[in-house]
Chain A
């Protein structure tokens, strides 16, 4: 059960406070119908109904809300020029990161591209560390040297800037999983733009040939930067692009659908049948990055429509409220707590000092003894130690 410790404690406190306020009985769990996944080379797919417990529901809600608010805060900090460089936000895609995490174990592995803040959080890092890394401070998860695209955590291999390059890496991690024999799988994510990179097909071939426990996941948010999928791909059925690799197409805006599909895919891989491909159909509200307004290649109406009809947080909230798993007030309280957590983290990220200049040359090589690196001219030297 992969859960953020802070989120759990907050939920407990929240529940305790609510018991005092009103004695209202919530249902323990509820059964929901979820969309059937399109299948490729599979006889059966994930189940079409699932059970959501109150505890899980509150947890997912809190996590998704945290990711959402964290991304919006990053947007704010970027516009204030406290975050510089490149910043790719994933608001709208929360169901993907939280749903995937819900379907795997913390001991499983995950690697993705540069839209990675959500995954960094779900894989266990705190918002403080993430925001401090965005602002380039010491307290950041990569000591302030990685930035938005280079965040790493235990069993989370980043955070990769070059499009598509992380997919063969993911296949390699899957090989290690198989080799170590601990029943672990590797989730290897890429986007709809990256799906046309040659190295991805090389990875498909190797994974299928050697039956690696690799779940290839295409996060299809309909636009590769500014290019819509129809204009980039001869086949937009990304779940079929693995050809000989079975695939499923999942509604990426519904966290329960993602969770069930992930559980199904993980079970498939763990049984030794080889790799499987998942296409998550999702959407991002922001542009490709902070330098992209996001409206020159799509209409505001389209963005609005997705926000009003398919917003993942809204969908979960409606389900929970309508099935008496939680009350509106309760969820609002979670919102308030999350907001505070993000504010505190932003405060920290803004106030934390930058890494010292002496560390500029660290970690180039693994070296023993340390050596010197020349700076911009021959009188500036940095020590490089690891």
Chain B
């Protein structure tokens, strides 16, 4: 709750800053004392222990895909895998403990239904699992590997980055391992500590050749996972483990696809763009609701869905509309994926590539045309939203 309150507090100050006064003070003066408060100003709220909190917000029942059934996240994953194995006779599922159903019950019943040749356990060797999966995929079969926790994916990092990602490129499109999908439980769960809580999407975002996807709900998970499996590139599908049981929704029984590399605007707004993925989407939805109710701030909420390659257009269009961007993720701050998003948005704004309602861009100087007052306001808005980032990119 405190994390949510912190966001709301930030929005309050943003709103209070309004159009004039405080914005001008910011101009050329560094950080405003009134705007970014120190920890001591937060006092008791910051010191109170903060436990992971969010409320899962289900989407309305989808109508365009036929009959639906109430499923939680792991059941949605099982359903997607079931559909895949039924459709594609070459599909196999393997990983540690998947045969009995998996430690999160994502593969329950599949071995009985499809046989032990198609759903089988591997020994405890992540590097071996992924390498082996790449081998299966190179021959054209569909390999669906499970890494038991995203925290354990690192022994396989070399295989993913050096082998899977570069196979098509280095063979001149003669070979590829596009039919490989790696699924892994991801993100904090409250009691996971060092090795059952990590969100390693940023490590993989740095690697062209693979796709990285994080769903926020059972409906999204099934559609995105089916897209990953059918996608002709190696994909990593991170499943937020805290949502396995907590997220319950109506999910279509038949297979369906949700396109990759498309972010979803969950809620339209006009004052600020909030971007997140996975579990954090539900946190920022709550923030958006609180901001609207208590502060009258209208937030546009975007679920990024695919981390790599990410949907630059949707995010940039949204920021042009609102003028402010906030990205929130569980992973550590430095080098986290938010830094990629914020610097890209900055870049496109200064380059004028992103179409923009009423302002014209002076491409030579990289400044906005229009009154200097407007210039100042827009630039300062960007300064406030990303803090020190703006100093790195020339505006």
Instruction: Enumerate chain A residues within 8 angstroms of B7, measured Cβ to Cβ.
Output: 377
Instruction: Enumerate chain B residues within 8 angstroms of A376, measured Cβ to Cβ.
Output: 3, 6, 50
CA distance A381 to B196 in the complex (A): 24
Instruction: Enumerate chain B residues within 8 angstroms of A379, measured Cβ to Cβ.
Output: 6, 9, 36-39, 41-42, 46
B387–A161 touching, CB < 8 Å: no
Which of chain A's residues 214-254 have a Cβ closer than 8 Å to chain B?
224-227, 231-233
B6–A380 touching, CB < 8 Å: yes
B139-170: CB near A (< 8 Å → 1, else 0) gives 00000000000011001000000000000000
B196-213: CB near A (< 8 Å → 1, else 0) gives 100000000000000000
With known contacts A85-B193, A377-B10, A226–B97 Cβ distance under 8 A: yes
B97–A225 touching, CB < 8 Å: yes
Count residues on chain B whose CB falls below 8 Å from chain A CBs.
35
Which of chain A's residues 135-153 have a Cβ closer than 8 Å to chain B?
147, 149-150
A161–B194 touching, CB < 8 Å: yes
Which of chain A's residues 366-386 have a Cβ closer than 8 Å to chain B?
374-381
B391 contacts A by Cβ under 8 Å: no
Count residues on chain A whose CB falls below 8 Å from chain B CBs.
34
Instruction: Enumerate chain A residues within 8 angstroms of B194, measured Cβ to Cβ.
Output: 150, 161
B54 contacts A by Cβ under 8 Å: no
In the complex, residue of chain B having the shortest beta-carbon distance to the beta carbon of A232: B123
A357–B125 touching, CB < 8 Å: no
Instruction: Enumerate chain A residues within 8 angstroms of B38, measured Cβ to Cβ.
Output: 379, 381
CA distance A194 to B333 in the complex (A): 33
A162–B152 touching, CB < 8 Å: yes
Partner of A196, one of B47, B123, B152: B123
CA distance A163 to B97 in the complex (A): 15
A164 contacts B by Cβ under 8 Å: yes
In the complex, residue of chain A having the shortest beta-carbon distance to the beta carbon of B387: A378
CB distance from A91 to the nearest CB of B (A): 22
Instruction: Enumerate chain A residues within 8 angstroms of B261, measured Cβ to Cβ.
Output: none
A226–B100 touching, CB < 8 Å: yes
A6 contacts B by Cβ under 8 Å: no
B191–A296 touching, CB < 8 Å: no
A86–B100 touching, CB < 8 Å: no
Partner of A161, one of B42, B100, B195: B195
CA distance A375 to B152 in the complex (A): 25
A154-165: CB near B (< 8 Å → 1, else 0) gives 000000011110
Interface of A is mostly: loop
Partner of A227, one of B47, B121, B333: B121
Which of A84, A149, A375, A379 gathers most chain B CB within 10 Å?
A379
A196–B124 touching, CB < 8 Å: yes
The total of interchain contacts (Cβ-Cβ below 8 angstroms) comes to 78
A293 contacts B by Cβ under 8 Å: no
Partner of A377, one of B3, B47, B100, B195: B3
A330-356: CB near B (< 8 Å → 1, else 0) gives 000000000000000000000000000
Which of chain B's residues 370-393 have a Cβ closer than 8 Å to chain A?
387
A198–B6 touching, CB < 8 Å: no
CB distance from B49 to the nearest CB of A (A): 7
CA distance A374 to B46 in the complex (A): 12
CB distance from B188 to the nearest CB of A (A): 11
A380–B195 touching, CB < 8 Å: no
CA distance A23 to B151 in the complex (A): 60
With known contacts A84-B191, A226-B100, A379-B46, A232–B124 Cβ distance under 8 A: yes
B66 contacts A by Cβ under 8 Å: no
A380–B42 touching, CB < 8 Å: yes
With known contacts A162-B195, A199-B155, A226-B97, A381–B124 Cβ distance under 8 A: no
CB distance from B291 to the nearest CB of A (A): 15
Which of chain A's residues 160-215 have a Cβ closer than 8 Å to chain B?
161-164, 193-194, 196-199
B121–A164 touching, CB < 8 Å: no
CA distance A375 to B3 in the complex (A): 10
Instruction: Enumerate chain B residues within 8 angstroms of A231, measured Cβ to Cβ.
Output: 121
Instruction: Enumerate chain B residues within 8 angstroms of A199, measured Cβ to Cβ.
Output: 155
CB distance from A9 to the nearest CB of B (A): 36
CA distance A150 to B193 in the complex (A): 11
A86–B125 touching, CB < 8 Å: no
B127 contacts A by Cβ under 8 Å: yes
CA distance A194 to B50 in the complex (A): 35
Instruction: Enumerate chain B residues within 8 angstroms of A196, measured Cβ to Cβ.
Output: 123-125, 128
Instruction: Enumerate chain A residues within 8 angstroms of B6, measured Cβ to Cβ.
Output: 376-377, 379-380
A374–B124 touching, CB < 8 Å: no
Instruction: Enumerate chain B residues within 8 angstroms of A150, measured Cβ to Cβ.
Output: 194
CB distance from B146 to the nearest CB of A (A): 14
Instruction: Enumerate chain B residues within 8 angstroms of A381, measured Cβ to Cβ.
Output: 38-39
Instruction: Enumerate chain B residues within 8 angstroms of A233, measured Cβ to Cβ.
Output: 123
In the complex, residue of chain A having the shortest beta-carbon distance to the beta carbon of B3: A376
29 CB contacts below 8 A, A to B, read A84-B191, A85-B193, A149-B195, A164-B124, A193-B123, A193-B124, A196-B124, A196-B125, A197-B125, A198-B127, A198-B155, A224-B123, A224-B124, A225-B97, A226-B100, A227-B96, A227-B123, A232-B123, A233-B123, A375-B46, A376-B6, A377-B7, A378-B36, A379-B37, A379-B38, A379-B39, A379-B41, A379-B42, A380-B6
Given contacts A193-B124, A224-B124, A381-B39, 5 further A-B contacts (CB under 8 A): A85-B191, A147-B193, A297-B100, A377-B3, A378-B36
| Residues of A participating in the B interface, judged by any CB pair closer than 8 Å | 84-86, 147, 149-150, 161-164, 193-194, 196-199, 224-227, 231-233, 296-297, 357, 374-381
